[in-house]
Structure formats: structure tokens, C-alpha cells
Structure 1
Amino acid sequence: MTVRRGLRLVTGGLALVFLLSMMLVNTGSAFAAKKVTIGVSIRSLSEERWAREKVLMEEKAKKLGADIIFTDANNDEFVQNSQIENLIARGVDVLIIIARNSDVAANGVEMAAKEGIPCIAYDVAIYHPHAIYVSFDSVRVGYEMAKAVVERVPKGRYFWIGGSPTDDNAYLVRKGHFQVLQPLIDRGDIQLLGEQWCDAWSPEEALKHVENALTAHGNRIDAIICSNDGTAGGAVQALKEQGLAGKVPTCGQDADLVACQRIAEGTQTVTIFKDVRILASTAIEAAMELAQGKRPSKINGKYVNEKKGIEQDAIFVDVVPVTKDNLYEVIVKGGFHKLEDVYRNIPKDQWPKG
């Protein structure tokens, strides 16, 4: 009897171990099967590039097996924070924020941090130590823009158009601009006629600023340094009204389709191609790693803002200046825009041959 009882105890014990093992396996499978949910707060889908990047992020998230939820703040920083709060309440695992206001969005990051939700500041810095910055080197972007214009007009009367005064990127771009311009201003080669900022990077504000500057200076402006393709578009429109489009160099960034068309036509000197396909993909990959409790593997630098006392891990993606000389090679052959779209306003017999 004692032996049989012992056998029953051993058999029962083995069965219990087996059942516990199966439970652990099933629990592990459940965790493995749990989908990551990424929340993306976009400052405004009315801007061409953010609408494009929404699609790119969606495609990448689907490829990696993640769910993704988007919100559009319509350029309202307080609406954006309310939407971030809603995304947190919906149980997202990680947040990607394209901030309308670098200061105000820090409150959104703080809300997420309290819930243990990691955040990525996407292409716009957010002044909070818990954010990871995924962007291009905006100082270099500004430097390359100004450099291309100065190569065309090494001496003369310049006017400067800035981006949004609530966007840290606008200040970084300006820093790059003046790394080129300031030595020439100090030497007397360049006369800076004025500086104006454009709320929300508004092309309409850029148009008004340039119209006013042209009137104030009797059209005697030799070059206009703009801060993105949208503001460059406003500047070119003002120049066109005075018959000066193509005669006064301008610059931008983002390689928006209309900007590439202006470069083909000769009315915009340069755009800085920031391959958002790489940026969007990199951000989603980093978000997946953060959601899994890992440090993003592509971190390659630091974002430092001494004035705000902020230092963040950063992932920087490279940029390429695009002029008429390499427009076809970089933009068309690189698959960013189609030949027929970029050269739409150019006679077909003048299109580049691939």
C-alpha cells in the first residue's frame, strides 16, 4: 500500500508539473502574441509631408505586426495634448509625437511618462528628458540651404524668412543658416535687410513678409533665405508678382513635390532632401523596440538644448541638398517623386533622359 501510494504521489506530482509547464507556455505565447499599439500624434495633416509620413508609418507598422492609431491636432498645441491624453487612455504602448509646440508638448510627454509609456519626438524636439529624438540634423539642413544660395549670390542684399517661432527645429535651421551668413555679414559682403518668422511655417505669412520687404526696398533684394519649402513657396509667389521669380535665389527643405517642380522650373534654388521614407521607418522600428522595453538600436547621437537644460538620446538620418543639377538623380531615380510629376511644367522634349 505504501508503495502504491508513493507511486500515486509521484504520478500526481508529474501531472501537476506538466500542467504548470503548459500554463507557462500558454502565458508566454499570449505575451508573444500581444500586438504592440503605437499612438501617433500629428500636429497637422494639412502639411504635405506629414500626410505622406502618416501613410509610411502605417505601412511600416503593418509590416512589423503593430497596430497604429493617428490623431491630427490641426495646428493646435492644446488640442494636441488633449489627443495625447486620449491615446494614453486608449492603452497605447508607445507614442510618436510630431509637436506643434516644443514646450507645450512636454506636458504630453510628462503624462505618458507617469504611465510608463515611452515617447519619440519625431522631427520636432520636445523639451522633456524622457523623449527620444528621431530626426535629421536640422543645423546641417540650414547650413546646406544657405550655402547653396550664397554660392549663387556671394555678395548682396538678403532677406531672411524663418519657420514657426514655437518649433525648436526653426531655431536649429536658423543656426545653420547663420553659420554661413554671419561671417559674410560681418565682412560686409552681405547686407541683411530684415528677418521675419512665420507661425506654423505658414506660406501665406511668408508671402506677406516678402511682399512687404519688396515694397519697402523697391524690389532691391538679391536673395531670400527661407526655412522650408512651404515658406519658399510663399516667397516665390511674391517674387513672381514682381517678375523676379528665378532671378532671386530662394531655398527650402523637405523636397515637397511643388518645390521640386519649382527647382525644375528654376524658381527655387535648392531643397534639402530629407528622406522621410527612412525617417518614418526608423521611428516605427524604434517605437517597437521601446514598446518591448529595449533601447533603440539605431541611436547615434544626442540632442542637446543648453537653454532648456535638455539632453536626449537621438537618431539622426542623413540629408542631401537637391538643385537642378541632381534633381533627376536624387528625387526621380531615387523613387521619391515621379518624372512626370516633377517635370510637369517643363516641355517634354526638355525632360531628362534616364
Structure 2
Amino acid sequence: MLRYYKKTSLSLLLCFVVLITTACSSTEKATSTKTAGKLITNDNVPYVGFLLDTLEEERWYKDKQLFEEHIKSLGGQVKTLAANGHDAVQLKQAQLLIEEGVDVLVVVPHNAEEAAKIVELAHENNIKVISYDRLITKSNLDYYISFDNEKVGVLQATEIVKNTSKGKFAYIGGAETDNNAILFRKGAMSVLQPLIDKGDITLIADQYTDGWDPKVAEQNMKEALNKSSNQVNAVVAANDGTAGGVISALEAVGLAGKIPVSGQDAELNGIKRIVEGTQTMTVYKPINVIATQAAEMAFKVAKGENPKTDTTINNNKIEVPTILLEPTAVTKETIDSTVVKDGYLAKEDIYGK
């Protein structure tokens, strides 16, 4: 049944106080209890809950804005909450949205396995869950929408190998708790491993990055440089944030701009580094495409319809109905024909003109 509840600002404040207090003080499993006295304004308006891992990275603001705009344009209502990297908070936020009467949850999980608790909680309340960009694993997840994440890794490694096909390479990955990071590495290694087996490449570092934190990536790169006496010929970094950390480490030893470094997400800082020559490439995943298609999927699910999917992905429990979108490699030569052409980034912001 479609439900949308309006609450006063005071009650919202109280909910958030309870949310934060409970998330910080208890590790008990969340259970949903429908609260009384809520005002149901319109049973026919789909109400979508959007749970983000974080808003501490540039790209997620774009996802939030585009997703919310499209849900509203379809005639639905949406509420977005961000956990900023805390699993307990994300679970409590799911509980809050369920209690408010959402018809579907769309989730960007912080931890792929921990987020299975969100799916379980939602299903206890007859609410379906769509995993957005990152796969929720080991759960009876209803739907998944993302880009082809193995291909992301293939694009990264391929572009680096085009620049340097022999020597000492470092792989600086994302958070191991993020299933996407595992897929990025898998794709990259499908390109690198044959060259490692031939003896053309030596992998001097193969590190995941806790929390996708650029500072952790910088430290991992510093350790790789120390162990190799600063002898490194290329770095495959999993996204633009980790690339920034890697490049900071390279700058400290005079190697920034002298060896190829990959990235992902086409963040403004990453694109600027490509223009400057310290970063070689990024992977553009058009956020307007995933945000609008996810919104359309969520709107249909909220109305009790079954959205069309094009494949399935195994999440280590079931085959999840999935939509996979195509990522695009971006180099200095293709900035204008990709991120600028699409209006994703403004030319003046990139080039300062």
C-alpha cells in the first residue's frame, strides 16, 4: 500500500535525536515498530527512501540531487539520509524510513555484508530494496542497478598499460568492504595478470584502502615507495580520491606527472589533475543516467510494478535482477567530448577560463 507521511519539524528533530543516540549506544538488531499518530496525506503518492553511505565525497551530492529531482518529476516523494560511513547509523536510518511509511528503499551500502540487515528489516515490513551502485551481498536483495564494475577496472588498467606496459606497478584499491572495489580489482587484474605472468610487470603493492580514504591511499603508496626505493613505473588507483592520495605521495618524491596514474568518477579535482598531467585517466560513469534510471525503477517498485532488468548478478546468496550501465574512459584528449559535452562538469571550472 502506498504511504507518505508528513511530520512536523519538531517530530523530525526528535526522530533524529533518537536515531543518533540509539546508533551510538546500541549494537542490538534493529526492529521496526510502526508508530501511532502519523498523518497519512495521500495513499496514492509513492514514497521513496534513499539511503546514502556518505555525502563526504563530491559525486554523491550529484546522485542525491538528480535522484530526488527525477522522483519528484514522476510524481513521487523522496527522503534522503546519509550515514557518513557508519553501519549502525545506516541501519537505524532504514528503520526510521520504514516507520515513516516508505514504499521502497534505495540503498548505497557502506558495508556490502552489513547492509544485508537492511534488506532483512525491509522485508519484514513488506518493503523491497534496490541496491544502488554498490551491491548488497549475502541477502535476498530485490534489485541492483550499477555500472559494469569489472569493466571499470579493465578500462583503468588498459589505459595505464597503454602508457607503460613494463616495469614495477602498484595497485591501490578501494575499501574491501565495498563489493565494487573487489570488482574493480578483478577487472584490472584481468589485464595486468597476463603481463605479470610474462614477467613484464612486477606488482610491488596490492592494497585495498580502508574507507576509500585518500589519506590511507597516500600512506599505502608511501609504504610502497619506501619498500621499492621509489622505483615505481605505474599506479592503478581505484578512484579519483585514492588517485589524489597516490599523487600526493608521488609529489613528495618528485614522481608526480612522471608515471601514469588511473582514477574513477570524473570528479572535478581528478579531471583537473588530468589536465595538469599528474593523473592519466578517470572513468566516467554518467550519474544522470544511473540516478534517473534508479529513480524510475524505484517509482515502479513503489507502485507495485516489476521493473525491467537486463541481467542478474550473484550476491553470494541469490541471483539479483540487475541493470548494468556502461562506463567510459576519459583522458586529456576526451574531456571535452565526454564530461563537458554531457554538462557533467563546466569547461570554465576545469580549465579556469
Q: Normalising by structure 1, report the TM-score.
A: 0.86
1:1-354 matches, within 5 Å, as 34-127=44-137, 128-297=139-308, 299-305=309-315, 308-344=316-352
Q: Secondary structure, in 3 states, of the residue corresponding to 2:263?
A: strand
Distance 1:261 1:303 in 2: 35
Deviations 1:319-340 (A, max 9, x none): 1100011111111122110001
The AA in structure 2 aligned to 1:76 is H
The AA in structure 1 aligned to 2:94 is I
CA apart distance, 1:78: 1.4
- Structure ID, larger Rg: 1
Residue 24 of structure 2 corresponds to which residue in structure 1? none
Q: Secondary structure, in 3 states, of the residue corresponding to 2:56?
A: coil
Task: Give unpaired runs (5+ residues) of structure 1.
Answer: 1-29, 349-354
More relative contact order, 1 or 2 (CA 8 Å, 6+ apart): 2
Distance 1:65 1:267 in 2: 45
More helix per residue: 1 or 2? 1
Deviations 1:262-313 (A, max 9, x none): 111111111110001110000000001111111113x1111124xx233100
Q: Is the 8 A contact 2:63 2:291 kept in 1?
A: yes
Q: Is the 8 A contact 1:202 1:231 kept in 2?
A: yes
The AA in structure 1 aligned to 2:93 is Q
The AA in structure 2 aligned to 1:131 is D
CA apart distance, 1:33: 6.9
CA apart distance, 1:31: 11
Q: Secondary structure, in 3 states, of the residue corresponding to 2:202?
A: strand
Distance 1:68 1:290 in 2: 14
Q: Is the 8 A contact 2:266 2:282 kept in 1?
A: yes
Q: CA RMSD in A?
A: 1.5
Q: Normalising by structure 2, report the TM-score.
A: 0.86
CA apart distance, 1:216: 2.0
Q: Is the 8 A contact 1:232 1:251 kept in 2?
A: yes
Q: Is the 8 A contact 1:162 1:174 kept in 2?
A: yes
Residue 11 of structure 2 corresponds to which residue in structure 1? none
